[in-house]
Amino acid sequence: MSIGLADTTLLRNAAYIDGHWVQAAKEKTFQVHNPATSDVLANVPDMDAEDARRAIQAAERALPEWRALSAKQRSQKLRAWYDLITEHADDLALLLTSEQGKPLPEAKGEILSGASFVEWFAEEAKRIDGDLLPSQAPDRRELVLKQAVGVVGAITPWNFPSSMITRKVSPALAAGCTVVIKPAEDTPLSALALADLAERAGIPAGVLNVVTASHGAEVGTELATNPAVRKLSFTGSTAVGKLLMEQAAGTVKKISLELGGNAPFLVFEDADLDQAVAAAMQMKFINAGQTCICVNRLMVQDTIHDEFVERFAAAVDQLTVGNGTEMGVKQGPLINRKGLDKVETLVTDAVGKGAQVVRGGERHALGGTFYQPTVLTGVTPTMACFSNEIFGPVAGIIRFSSEQEAVRLANDTPYGLAAYFFTRDMGRIWRVGEGLEYGMVGANTGRFVSETIPFGGVKESGIGREGSKYGIDEFLETKLLCIGGIEPLG
């Protein structure tokens, strides 16, 4: 169907392997739907392990030539890809909203954010350097080289179907690796559009491949177990990440995992409440709460609890729910029925255990997978929404009385991705910032994600970092080169 793209070729209905747009070997397909309207957007190949092996073999064949290019040559290809992404940002955003549901301004923001990773790593390609070590003997020289790890398998999620691809693929290509991408089954069209633009940018056949599948387990297992894949990068649930980690152990491949979160948002009594409410709104309801760094547990000090709830609820009243392509919409649908059912179950559990519904708490009148922006008070650690990642527009508010209690509650989770807190006490900023067991902590700010920061978590929220100068290290091997037999001068 037509969704109003200026460049209609960006809506692809074929996978991309070895520089060709192909169908599944078994000729199966599956439908991609618009979650806001249930319209069918496209039928794409439903691939399996056989197709994944074909893509891995293509990446393996392309590796020597791509790795042999100079850093500057790879940089130029990435820069051309960046230019095309930004040139087609409006179309890419419309395509993203159509298959994922987030409001169009959020989608455009994701496209430009994703492009920034391509630009950043195009520049970082030229900054991969090693070391000359102090020599341990007069006839010897010892060097440290950084070399591409090899073929990379990248498995990406549906909540950020464009930027999660560029955040993985760009450093891999910059390092000299080749890539096989398995996008989420709900949102493969953004991945295919990026592959189309990569082809136009002159990235050679086999360097970037996209394998689509309605159920990712078979393709994911192939990427995790195939010995030709030397690095696996996954963003998704902790449960699937653990399974992939176990599978990848068989070939001892490098692995990076960006997994689930359970982000606390602490508001201390000395906080700027206007600032805290604005940040809480942004980090709770972005993408309808379907983000791994979304606020999951709002913790507010006793003395300001009621005032915060009043201000926060008033701000929630201003949210407009609807189709993400419509003007003024701030919250779109949940991605699918499974996501809706999970949110309903968590709210029902909380209310059954004593939580009070201040706003929302039910399916939206729009039907489908739309859910009302919801505020709950009286949330306690006994409720499932305290310990489970909500992934929906539900804000559960918890009281605390002391700094020590706040940090203890915040750390009472196996996850450790992102955390936020608000206070104007500089000593508290240091104490709480250092005490929170999270890979990323924001003090008096909600949004801090960019191409320049290392994104990743601790504990069961993952391994490794994406973005920043550290992100390219995930795709490099460190090699010692020792040169002996060097005769002394004279």
Task: List beta partners, residue 24.
Answer: none
- Cα 192 from Cα 60, distance rounded (Å): 20
Catalytic residue, chosen from 99, 177, 199, 292, is: 292
Length of the chain measured in residues = 490
Closest CA to 463 of 296, 254, 263: 254
Residue 219 gets the label, from left (phi > 0), alpha (psi -120 to 50) or beta, of alpha
**C-beta separation of 126 from 452 below 8 A:** no
Question: Helices in 187-272 by DSSP H: which ranges?
Answer: 189-200, 217-225, 238-248
CB-based burial label for 480 (10 Å; 0-12, 13-18, 19+) = exposed
Phi then psi for residue 415, to 5 deg, are: -95, 160
Residue 292 is among the residues annotated as catalytic for this protein: yes
- DSSP letter assigned to residue 488: P
CA distances 446 to 276, 277, 295, 418, 485, Å, are: 9, 10, 9, 10, 57
Catalytic residue, chosen from 106, 124, 185, 258, is: 258
Tell me how crowded residue 263 is: count the other CB atoms within 10 A of its CB: 28
Sign of CA dihedral 169, 172, 174, 178: negative
Active site positions, annotated: 258, 292
